[in-house]
A = this chain, B = another copy of it.
Amino acid sequence: MSHLCIESQLLSKERQNVTFLIEELTNIWDGGKEETMIRRRVEKLFADDPELKSPPLCTMTRDEEFTEATRKSAYIYRHFIPKHKLYPSSRESKHLTSVLFRAQPLATNLFIHMGVFVYCIKTMGSDKQVAKWLQLAKNLNIIGTYAQTELGHGSFLRGLETQATYDRTTQEFVINCPQLSSMKWWPGDLGVNANHALVMANLIIDNKKYGMHAFIVQIRDLSTHKPLPGVSVGDIGNKFGLGSTDNGFLYLKNVRIPLENLLNKNAEVKPDGTYLKKASDRLVYGSMVNLRVSIPKQCTDVLAKACTIAIRYSGVRRQGLLKPDGAEVPILDYTLQQHKLIPQLATVYATNFAGLQIQKKYEVFLQNLSNDDISDLAELHALSASFKASVSEQGTEGVEVCRRACGGHGYSQASGLPSLLARVTPACTYEGENTVLYLQTARFLMKCASKKAKDLPKSVTFLVQPTQMMNINNVTSLDFIVHCFKSRATICVQAAAKRLQQTMGQGVEINEAWNKNAVELVKAAKAYVMQFIVDGFTTFVKGLKCSKPTKKIFEDLCSLYGLHFINNNSGDFLKLGIITAHHCNLAEEAEIELLGKLRPNAVGIVDAFDFSDFSLDSCLGAYDGNVYERLFDMAKLSPLNKEQVHQASYKYLRPYLLEGRDILEGSKSKL
C-alpha cells in the first residue's frame, strides 16, 4: 500500500508531540556525537552488504538458522572485517561488537572462538604458543572452543572431573573424562564447527593433582573434519532460543596431546614432570570481570529493543474507548499500559548509565593492575558479579513484560519479542549463575561489615555507618530516593552480618551458617547492587550537560526507576523504618504522575535508541508503524504455507473429509 496507513499516521503524530530533540538523546546514548556517527557508519556497512542478508528468523528451522549463522560469521571475520578494516584497534570496532550483537542470533557462531579461545591463547599462552596458534585462530585456520563446564558440574569449579595426566615416557598429556558426568557440555562453537578445544582439566603428575589448567586439544581431523579417535563430539540438542549457537558436548577417552599444548604462561610442566608455578591465578579474575561488564550492556540493549517494539506498537494499536462515543485510543493512553512499559524504559537507562560507572572502575583497575596493584579487585568483583546478576534479571523480566504487553501478537515470532526473551534470559545463568554470584557479592559485603570504615574503600564505607533520617519534602527528589536505597543496603548488610554471627555463635559451622542465612545474604547483595544502580544513574544524571528538555527526560526516568522499585518492594523500606505508609501513598501517586509526564515522549525516547528496522527484525516495532501489513506479509512466508494444501498434514484428515463431502453433497442432491 502506498498511502500512509492509519498506524503510520498515529506514529507520526506521536513524533510531532515529542518535547525534546531525539538526536541529542541518541548522542548521549552513544557516548557522543562522533560515536553516533561511527556507529551509524558501521551499521550501514552491515545493512548494505548483501552477504549479510538472511531470510526472516521466524521462517527458519534450527538447522537452517545454524547453517546461516556459520555462513555469516565466516564471512564477517574473513571478508567483512578485513574489507572495511574494522580491526580491534579501530574506533569502529567497539561498535562492530554491538552491531554484531544487535544482529544476533544470525551472526553468533564463532563468538566463543573469537572472543574466548583467541583471548585465552593471547593471555594464557607463552610467547612461543602465541606465535604458533594466535594467527591461525584469528584467520579461522583453526576453530576452537573454551571447554570448561561439564555435564555434571557448572558453578562449583573444584568439582570438575576431566583429567590431564602427564605421561613422562612420551612427554604427552593423556586427557580423559572419567565418567559420563565429566564430559564437556554447553561450550559454544564446540559441537559442529570447532576442530580444537581449550580443555580445562585437572593436571595430574605422578598421581599428584595440581588443579585446573588449560590444554589445547585437537578434536577433529584437519582434512576431513571427522572426530579424532577417542573423541566423541556433537551438538547438545535444541535449546530455549539460541538455535543458531553451536553448543556442544565433548567426551574424551585417552586423547594424547603433546607437552607443549598446556598453555604455560602462568604454569609449566618440564619434560621430566617438574611442575613450575609462574604467576598468580588471581589475575584471571580480571578477564572474568571484563566479561561480566559486557553482559549487562548486552542485556540492556535487548531490553531497549523490546521497549522500542512494545512502545511503538502501543502507539498504533487501538483498542477500546476512553470517552463513551470517542474514537478508539492507542493502548499507550491507558495508565496500565504505561505502568507496564515506561518503567522498563527507565530500567534501560538506569542499568546502562550505572554500567558506565563500573566500566570506569574497571579501567582504573586495569591501570593499577599494570602496577601489580589489585587492591580494587575485591570490590570490583563483588560489584560486577551482582550487577551482572541484577541486570540480567531486570532485563529478562522487562522483556517479558514488554512481550506480554503486546497481547497475542507478542507471542508471534514475527514480533521479534520471543527471540529477544530467549536471547536475554540465558544471561541469568551463563558466566556465573545469578544466585551463586549474589552469594559471592555477599561474601565481600560480610567482610566489609566486619571492618571499620577507615579500612574500607570509600565507596562502601556507608555500609558500616549508621543510617541517617531524612526530612522528606518531595518523594520524587533524587536525593531522597538515593537515601532510601543506601539506607536499605546498609541495614540489610548489617542485619545479615549480625545473623550470620549469631548462627556461628551457636556453634554452627561456617558453610552451614551461610546456608541457613542464605536468603538474607542474597537480599543484602541485591540491596547493595540496587543502591549502586540508583546512585550511579543519579550521579550520571546530575552531571549530565545537555538541553533542559532532555535533562528533564533523564530526571523523570531516574525518579521513575527508583519510585517504581520502591512501590513494588515497599515492604523492604517500610519494615526497616526508612519510609512511612504516608510516603508509600505519595510515592504511588508520584509514579502515576511521572508516567503521565513521560507518556508523550515515550515514542521519541525509544526512537532515540536508533535501532534500524534491520536490527529490530520485528513486524510490530518497525519505524513506520505499519504493523498489520508486515504481520500479514510475514505470515505468507511461513513454511506451512508453501503449498496451498499442506499435503503432509492433510493426508491424515482426507479420508474423513471425503466422507463429509459425500454426505453433504448427497444431502444437497436430495434437496
Question: Which of chain B's residues has its CB closest to A225's CB?
Answer: B645
Cβ–Cβ contact A639 & B322, under 8 A: no
Does residue A319 face the partner (Cβ distance < 8 Å to B)? yes
Q: Does A108 make an interface contact (CB < 8 A)?
A: no
When the two chains form their complex, are residues A404 and B429 in contact, meaning their CB atoms are under 8 A apart? yes
A596 to B195, CA, bound (A): 48
Scan A609-640; emit 1 where CB is below 8 A from any B CB, else 0.
Answer: 00000000000000000001101101111111
A571: chain B residues within 8 A (beta carbon)? 567, 569-574, 584
Pairwise interchain contact A660-B141, C-beta atoms closer than 8 A = yes
CB–CB A237/B665 < 8 A:
no
| CB atoms of A638 and B319 under 8 A apart | no
- Cβ of A238 under 8 Å from chain B: yes
Copies of the polypeptide in the assembly:
2
Interface of A is mostly: helix
Inter-chain contact B515/A335, CB cutoff 8 Å: yes
What distance in Å separates the Cβ of A328 from its nearest Cβ neighbour in chain B?
A: 6
Residue of chain B at shortest CB distance from A194: B653
8 Å CB contact of A234 from B638, B661, B665: B638
B628–A180 touching, CB < 8 Å: yes
Partner of A581, one of B249, B407, B426, B577: B577
By the criterion CB–CB under 8 Å, are B641 and A328 in contact?
A: no
Instruction: Say which residue of B181, B322, B414, B584 sits within 8 Å of A237 (CB atoms).
Output: B414
Render A411-453 as a binary contact track against B, CB cut-off 8 A, 1 for contact. 1111001100100011011100101000100000000000000
Q: Which of A510-535 contact B (CB under 8 A)?
A: 511-512, 515-516, 518-519, 522
A66-B640, A571-B570 known; A522-B195 Cβ under 8 A: no
Contacting residues, chain B, for A466 (C-beta < 8 A)? none
Tell me if A661 and B336 are in contact (CB < 8 A): no
Our pick among B185, B319, B657 for the contact of A140 (Cβ within 8 Å) is: B657
Please report the C-alpha to C-alpha distance between residue A183 and residue B633 in the assembled complex, in whole angstroms. Answer: 13
Judge whether A321 is part of the interface by a CB distance below 8 angstroms. yes
Q: Which of B142, B226, B239, B572 contacts A412 (CB 8 A)?
A: B239
Residues of B within 8 A of A154 (CB): 319, 407-408
Q: A646 on the interface (CB 8 Å rule)?
A: yes
Residues of chain A from 250 to 292 with CB closer than 8 A to chain B in the complex: none
Complex CA–CA separation, A353 to B191 (angstroms): 46
475-530 of chain A: CB within 8 A of chain B: 509, 511-512, 515-516, 518-519, 522
